[in-house]
Amino acid sequence: MAYLEFAPAGGAPALDAAVTPKHFTPARELTALEWTVVELAQRDRMSSIERPGAIARFARRLFGLPVKTSLSSPRLEALRRIAVLSWYRGFSVAPAEVRAFVAAGFTLDQYETLLARINAVRVSLPRRFRR
């Protein structure tokens, strides 16, 4: 039986710079905090992603209603927005929202993972709780 050595001599790594592009970074899963934001977004209404106008803000202050605030981290707020849209609309999210999600530092792979998990939960819910 013959033996074929695939590793280069001297214990150098098997992949060299010519094979792996410099801009390549492996896809990162969402963190536990990010998944918590996605789960909490399930309870949010579609109106939570819109900024209230001046009249709505004035009426809230006048009648002492709580003012809706966004998350303190712009990255987590982008995740919350895309999660709310995905909970309500599934795969029909506007491309501008997906671009804003990617601009916040997420990847399209993470977006697909997010959609897959939300869809799996939506399918497992009883029909009366589906949106």
Q: What are the pLDDT tens digits along the chain (131 aa)?
A: 555 555 555 555 544 444 444 554 445 788 999 999 999 898 888 877 777 678 877 877 888 877 666 777 889 999 999 999 999 988 889 999 999 999 999 999 999 999 999 988 888 877 655 55
pTM: 0.66
Q: In this structure, which amino acid lies at residue 125? A: L
Q: Is residue 75 part of a domain?
A: yes
Q: Is residue 82 part of a domain?
A: yes
Q: Is residue 84 part of a domain?
A: yes
Q: Is residue 4 part of a domain?
A: no
Domain count, the chain: 1
Q: Is residue 19 part of a domain?
A: no
Domain, as residue range, for 101: 31-129
In this structure, are residues 118 and 38 in contact, taking their beta carbons and an 8 Å threshold?
A: yes
